[in-house]
Chain A
């Protein structure tokens, strides 16, 4: 359903502005969609399984984590003089951030929104405090971030592979089934032996890890990191998850819905850049878009509920 809508939307846009179908534009959109997609996978897991004691799961720190990673890689690389070690340490940084979020939420009993907001602000502050160090970006990162196979960028392929892994995980593994159970009915899940703390914590850790990985991909794309950074990842990842059909309160989620979600978000982003739409209007549009899509979903499910026997 969502695939069809997004496809039609892109078609319609293409009829208005034929340049939409230019290969370079398609590649650009898919490339950015891949990076956003990696982040959105983490956000998906958090929204599905990161709820804690009646507070909905959300990760507002993904954008800051991503940004910090792009700079941290350079500094760490300069310090340890090894690409591999720097990569691993950056991914561990993501894990650490996720751990901090998760512990604040599960042990500190802080609502995910506030916890990840606090983390996000702190990370932003830290990012601004460290400056840029020019460093040679390793070949494999550039391959992942900037290269493509035909029309399909490697970042998008990374996203697809990770999506499939996550889908299999959610559907067929014990972990996935328990996350789903916890999302659907936490009390029942607890009674069935699901360790709520552990599973909640794990979703934030994975989200942090994926955000860091996204940062590495983004670095591979940018090649030269920059201090000017508008966070186009945090809210767009949330939007992509919602567009994909995941219910904010948990219980319903779609991994493959993320695909049209991220493509749509980045497609719109290209439109915005094309028309030189000011940053201001872009935010208004994102807000209105999330609102309308969620409204459509809610109204749709309301119709279904009419036939429910109470």
Chain B
């Protein structure tokens, strides 16, 4: 079931309040440069939140999205400077492979998603550390500038990418049979199976999709930081859950709202940006992010259940 866009009003209202408060209390927030910053953060968080919602919607979760992103920044730092097209292709394939590992464990071996994706998380973390023990490598500056470039103050490319991914995902989940199968399986697996849906295959593909989307997020993250880094993706696991749940994705599966997820992603992008602008120490940021995650998820579970 697709939550109606109108239900996302809640999260978008919260976003509006945050923007208002930030504009009033934090200098530099309401500047074109910062707008571009937020837009890029939003792009990354939105993609990883979509990845997580793909896994959540079939009744599971993907703990590996964060380290997935870290690995991809590593791959990006080696390949993009050599051949950008090849680099992106390898990243997407690697994401699909990681997703396939998860999907195989969940659908074929019937292992609980937490355990499978936990293993993937550890393995991916190890791979990320192997590729780039310390941040390094080089990602073409051209990609960075094109992502951040503004046209009359508006980060055109970022926004175009955001809307493209949003529409693609909405189209996928609403209009394609595979997308609808994802919703069906998450809603009631037994019934979906009785209706002839190949639940194992659907779940497998859901995790592959999660892996690919997370890899894509990792690509953009790599472009943003300009190098490969082994644990840069960790906080995004937190964001992916927060954004997906705040956006109206039910943790029990079957329900998701891409537009809501965008709103949720914006919320965490704003939090991330505000913490950065206020120059809060990274340790305190961690505490704040942890608390925000718990608060957002807790409130969302209560409010959006109606």
Chain A positions near chain B (C-beta within 8 angstroms): 54-56, 58, 104, 108-111, 113-115, 117-122, 124-126, 128-129, 235, 238, 242, 248-249, 278-288, 290-291, 294-295, 298-299, 302
Q: Provided the pairs A54-B252, A118-B294, A125-B290 are in contact, do residues A242 and B115 lie with their beta carbons within 8 angstroms? A: yes
- Pairwise interchain contact B115-A104, C-beta atoms closer than 8 A: no
Question: Assuming A56-B112, A280-B128, A288-B123, what are 10 further A-B pairs, CB within 8 angstroms?
Answer: A117-B241, A118-B238, A118-B294, A121-B290, A125-B290, A238-B118, A281-B130, A287-B125, A290-B115, A299-B109
Instruction: Tell me the minimal C-beta distance from B211 to chain A in angstroms.
Output: 15
Instruction: List the B side residues contacting A286 at CB < 8 Å.
Output: 122
Q: Provided the pairs A121-B286, A238-B118, A298-B110 are in contact, do residues A280 and B133 lie with their beta carbons within 8 angstroms? A: yes
- Pairwise interchain contact A235-B126, C-beta atoms closer than 8 A: no
Task: Return 7 A-B CB contacts under 8 Å, by A number.
Answer: A110-B298, A114-B241, A121-B238, A128-B286, A290-B119, A291-B111, A294-B115
Complex CA–CA separation, A55 to B116 (angstroms): 16
Instruction: Tell me the minimal C-beta distance from A206 to chain B in angstroms.
Output: 21
- Pairwise interchain contact B251-A55, C-beta atoms closer than 8 A: yes
- Which of B36-44, B83-91, B221-229, B277-285 faces chain A? B277-285
Complex CA–CA separation, A27 to B297 (angstroms): 45
Complex CA–CA separation, A281 to B122 (angstroms): 10
Q: Provided the pairs A109-B298, A248-B114, A287-B121 are in contact, do residues A124 and B251 lie with their beta carbons within 8 angstroms? A: no
- Pairwise interchain contact B298-A117, C-beta atoms closer than 8 A: no
Instruction: Tell me the minimal C-beta distance from A284 to chain B in angstroms.
Output: 3
Identify B290's interface contact among A56, A122, A238, A285, CB under 8 A.
A122
Total interface residues on B, CB under 8 Å, equals 46
Identify A104's interface contact among B105, B109, B129, B298, CB under 8 A.
B298
Identify B130's interface contact among A113, A124, A278, A302, CB under 8 A.
A278
- Pairwise interchain contact A291-B301, C-beta atoms closer than 8 A: no
Complex CA–CA separation, A15 to B302 (angstroms): 58
Within 8 A of A (CB), among B97-127: 105, 109-112, 114-116, 118-123, 125-127
Chain B positions near chain A (C-beta within 8 angstroms): 61, 63, 105, 109-112, 114-116, 118-123, 125-130, 133, 230, 237-238, 241, 245, 251-252, 281, 283-291, 293-294, 297-298, 301-302
- Pairwise interchain contact B293-A117, C-beta atoms closer than 8 A: yes
Instruction: List the B side residues contacting A287 at CB < 8 Å.
Output: 118-123, 125-126
- Pairwise interchain contact A283-B126, C-beta atoms closer than 8 A: yes
Instruction: List the A side residues contacting B126 at CB < 8 Å.
Output: 279-285, 287
Complex CA–CA separation, A122 to B129 (angstroms): 24
Identify B133's interface contact among A114, A125, A278, CB under 8 A.
A278
Q: Provided the pairs A248-B112, A287-B119, A287-B120 are in contact, do residues A118 and B291 lie with their beta carbons within 8 angstroms? A: yes
Instruction: Tell me the minimal C-beta distance from B162 to chain A in angstroms.
Output: 25
Instruction: List the A side residues contacting B252 at CB < 8 Å.
Output: 54
Residue of chain A at shortest CB distance from B293 = A118
Residue of chain B at shortest CB distance from A288 = B123
Instruction: List the A side residues contacting B119 at CB < 8 Å.
Output: 287-288, 290-291
